Amino acid sequence: MSTAEIRSAVAAYIGRARWFGGKGRDFEVASLRRIGTVPGDGPQVTIELAEVVFADGEVDLYQLPLVAYDEPQGRLEHALVGHWEGTTFYDALHDREAMALWLQAFAGKTDPAAGLLFHRLEGHEIDLTARSTLFSGEQSNSSVAFGEDAMMKVFRRVTPGVNPDVQIHDVLTQAGSDHVAALYGWLDTVDEETDSVIQLAMLQQFLRTASDGFELAKASVRNLFAEADLHPHEVGGDFAGESSRLGVALAETHATLQTSFGTGAVDTGSVADGMKVRLEAALAVVPELEAYAEPLRAAYQRLSHLESLVVQRIHGDLHLGQTLRTVKGWKLVDFEGEPAKPLHERMLPDSVWRDVAGMLRSFDYAPAVVEHTMAETDLEGADQRAFRAHQWCERNREAFLHAYAGRDLTAEDRAALAAYEADKAVYEAVYETRNRPAWVAIPLAGIARITAAGVNTS
């Protein structure tokens, strides 16, 4: 098989993979290069970097761990990448024998890897007998559980430089934070072509019994809707206590990040200008935003009137779907930042109000999503559900915000928070228009509320 045919086979596999971010776009694999071999006795496991070039000229790097067998393996047929050089290649994350080699390398039980650096934090003894299971629901990355002991996240689309997910988990773990899954180690390589580190995977505590925060919130809403004559605080599934504990968890996480990375200050005018630019771009995509354009600009203008804005390292893409409830409290996950932003922007400090705004928007979304789903089969109860959804949202927003701040917000705090929440809702309006048009009413309703509050307080 020629080099071009190998690249074509790899492109076909990447194109149909769940984690590929370029679906619907024309692309080709321009190059495929091996950056390392996982050590140990067993099948040959290598890590390849595929340079994906899209028709518009955009270029991405995708990590593809491959396991090689001399004979086809029926058990891995679903993970077949291709046949070349007299060998059959499969996506290694689907193969337990290949994953056992990764685990041994993390535990330091093998000779150093060729081209790969397996880093390990002290304090946890890795269970080498644990069998691997690839999660099927992951999207932009791939996650592998090792029994009930550990979980490995493999970054599929990689960028030269430090990955914020690894960096922040490292800092929070070293600081003894209770609000993240403890980091056990990570894998990286020094890439000769870019003369930079590329971080490939992270091994961390497996939160086996954890529940998704957004799913818990929706369950609370459904419980409320089922009790037509009760208020949110009277229902057994009241979520306000959890919202309050989540506020404390975020505040403590921000405090640890502040201590570890420090703080700075930015000009509020430049931040507001960025929000205005995003609004102008959004108006071309979401015509309904035009009705709110002036009050949105006014909200950003109020931000620009503040003297300055304290910034620090934050989560960057926080919402209920990035939280897990465990028996030991709330955990925050996925510190990679907003996926659409380039790596250097995701590493920049920002205001804590961006994270807070993301959570507040999530409290809008939970009841709205449940309400939208129920409306498909029960139109008659729509008005009652809308009223109760508003009650649920306001109760949980207030509980979260009060617990996070631990005090009454100042006028300056509220101006900054309103601008960040409006900016997030505008982003959501664009996303929904492009991906789920039937849901665009959710962020538009949030924008109506945010701008109305601004009019009433200005």
Q: What is the DSSP string of 138-162?
A: --SEEEEEETTTEEEEEESEE-SB-
Q: What is the DSSP letter of 337?
A: -
What domains does the chain contain, in order, with CATH numbers? 3-205 (no CATH), 211-457 (3.90.1200.10)
For tokens 């950003």, the residue is: 300
Assigned token pair, 12: 């076909």
Quick one: which of 225, 229, 247 has its CA closest to 392?
225
Alpha helices per DSSP H over 305-381 = 343-346, 352-375
Q: What's the rounded Cα separation, in Å, for the pair 205 and 146?
A: 10
d(CA 439, CA 202): 34
DSSP state of 179: S
- Say whether 256 sits in a helix, a strand or coil: helix
- Please state, in angstroms and rounded to a whole number, the distance separating the CA atoms of residues 17 and 19: 5
Report how far Cα 35 is from the mean position of its chain's Cα atoms: 26
What is the pLDDT, as a whole number, of residue 457?
A: 54
Bridge partners of 82? 89
At 143, the amino acid letter reads S
The neighbouring-strand residues paired with 63 are 49
pLDDT along the chain (458 residues), means of 10: 92 95 92 94 95 96 97 96 95 97 93 88 93 85 94 95 95 96 96 90 94 96 82 80 98 98 96 97 96 97 95 97 95 89 88 98 95 78 85 95 96 96 96 93 94 67
Q: What pLDDT shows up at residue 117?
A: 94
Residue identified by tokens 């705090």 is 413
Q: Are 323 and 242 in contact (CB under 8 A)?
A: no
pLDDT at residue 138 in the model: 60
**123 HSE (CA, 13 A, CB side):** 11
**359 is written with which tokens?**
């959570």
Tell me whether residue 129 is exposed, middle or buried, using C-beta atoms within 10 angstroms of its C-beta: 0 to 12, 13 to 18, 19 or more. Answer: exposed
Helix ranges (H only) for 146-267 are 164-174, 213-226, 240-261
